[in-house]
Amino acid sequence: MTTIGLAGSGEIAAYVSRQLANKYSVRILDLGNGSLCCDGAAEVENATHLAEGADILVLCTDSDEARDVLLRSTEWLKGSTERERIVIDMGQSDPDDARSRAENLRELGITLVDAPLHTENTATAPETSAIFFGGPSSVLASTREILENVCPTIIHCGDAGSGHAMRLVVAAIAACNRLITYECAAMGARNGLTIGDMATVLNKSSGYNSASARVLPAMTANKRTANVTLGAWADDLRKASSVAMRLGAPMLIATMARSTLDAASNRLGESATVDRLAEIWEIDSGLPASKAG
């Protein structure tokens, strides 16, 4: 049986560990608050024990610092295997940093690829999620079966770093779509329109977007759509804006969206889910509070 070593933290990592443990022998190095270990997985105390005998190593952390510490020290990666070492980064990283790390590790015989998972709601994954792969086609071919156990939708975006870049694009657009949908829905509600009617019209017109398709119907039914947090989204947009400025392609709208998320985080807390953004517009527009979120 294939043995996978997973080091990570956060909600996405917990989801990945559960999916992989359904089929593979999984070892867990919890870099967070102890929420990663699941049925079928064994917990280890350090990176060296994680790598011993592991066929594939997976990193999935919401902490840039934790990722940097692990990849800066390579001794644990080089030992305990006769095969070429493959490391899959399923968290969100800076694309340029990922390319630099992949190049440096390649000189040591270690292949680092990016395969960040994008989902707003792990409860509805894998149907509403996608993996964006960045790295050699040969590595994707050899790891596809493992990745498909996490999410069947896998898109090969190019070389190392491109998967991280694609996820930032998707995350930024998703955030902007949700914010403008809440904003316009609040204006419509103040003009006497119902959320249900706006959802029907928007989703059959040029106003259609991913948020109008999911968020407005969910608001009508008082249902949740996401467990991703305001803090995580703000961090994604912070990374996206930084990359864009570095490349001379400033993301002005995304930067304004990030400022809105930062302000919402200050009011609701970084750990609040993005569904609770609706409360901001309800309060500021003088609308009755919804029950979802």
- Which residues, other chains included, contact 19 with Cβ-Cβ below 8 Å and sequence gap of 6+? 126, 149, 150
Instruction: Parse the chain into domains and list their residue ranges.
Output: 3-159, 165-285
Strand partners, 112: 87
The angle, 0 to 180 degrees and rounded to 10, between the axes of the packed helices 162-190 and 195-202 is: 130
Question: What's at 67, amino acid-wise?
Answer: R
* This model's pTM is above 0.85: yes
At residue 220 the predicted structure's pLDDT band, cuts being 50, 70 and 90, is confident
- Which residues, other chains included, contact 43 with Cβ-Cβ below 8 Å and sequence gap of 6+? 27, 28, 29, 30, 36, 37
- Residue range 89-118, pLDDT digits in tens: 999 999 999 999 999 999 988 999 999 999
pLDDT > 60? residue 293: no
At residue 188 the predicted structure's pLDDT band, cuts being 50, 70 and 90, is very high
* Measured distance CA(178)–CA(281) in Å, rounded: 12
The pLDDT of 18-40, averaged and rounded, is 88
- Residue range 240-283, pLDDT digits in tens: 999 999 999 999 999 999 999 999 999 999 999 999 999 999 99
Q: How many helices (H) and strands (E) does the chain have?
A: 12, 9
* Distance separating the N- and C-terminal Cα atoms of the chain: 41
- pLDDT score of 82: 65
Residues 43/37, Cβ–Cβ less than 8 Å: yes
What would the two tokens of residue 244 be? Answer: 């864009």
- pLDDT score of 172: 96
- pLDDT score of 32: 83
* Measured distance CA(174)–CA(28) in Å, rounded: 31
Percentage of the residues of the chain whose pLDDT score is greater than 90: 73
* Measured distance CA(21)–CA(126) in Å, rounded: 15
* Measured distance CA(217)–CA(45) in Å, rounded: 45
Q: CA dist 51 to 61, 67, 81, 179, 224, Å?
A: 17, 15, 8, 42, 38
- Residue range 130-181, pLDDT digits in tens: 999 999 999 999 999 999 999 999 999 999 999 999 999 999 999 999 999 9
Parallel/antiparallel/unpaired status of strands 56-60 and 85-89 = parallel
Radius of gyration of the CA atoms of the chain, in A: 20
Mean pLDDT, the chain, as a whole number?
A: 92
Which position has the higher pLDDT, 283 or 40? Answer: 283
pLDDT > 60? residue 291: no
Closest by alpha carbon to 97, among 163, 8, 48, 158?
163
Closest by alpha carbon to 277, among 221, 213, 234?
234
The pLDDT of 31-39, averaged and rounded, is 80
At residue 237 the predicted structure's pLDDT band, cuts being 50, 70 and 90, is very high
pLDDT > 80? residue 83: no
Phi and psi (nearest 5°) for 56?
A: -135, 140
Q: Please identify which residue in the block is written with the tokens 């200050």.
A: 266
* Measured distance CA(246)–CA(256) in Å, rounded: 18
- pLDDT score of 86: 95
Question: What's at 63, amino acid-wise?
Answer: S
What would the two tokens of residue 175 be? Answer: 């955030």
* Measured distance CA(50)–CA(54) in Å, rounded: 7
The pLDDT of 54-80, averaged and rounded, is 87
CATH of domain 3-159: 3.40.50.720
CATH class of the domain whose range is 165-285: mainly alpha
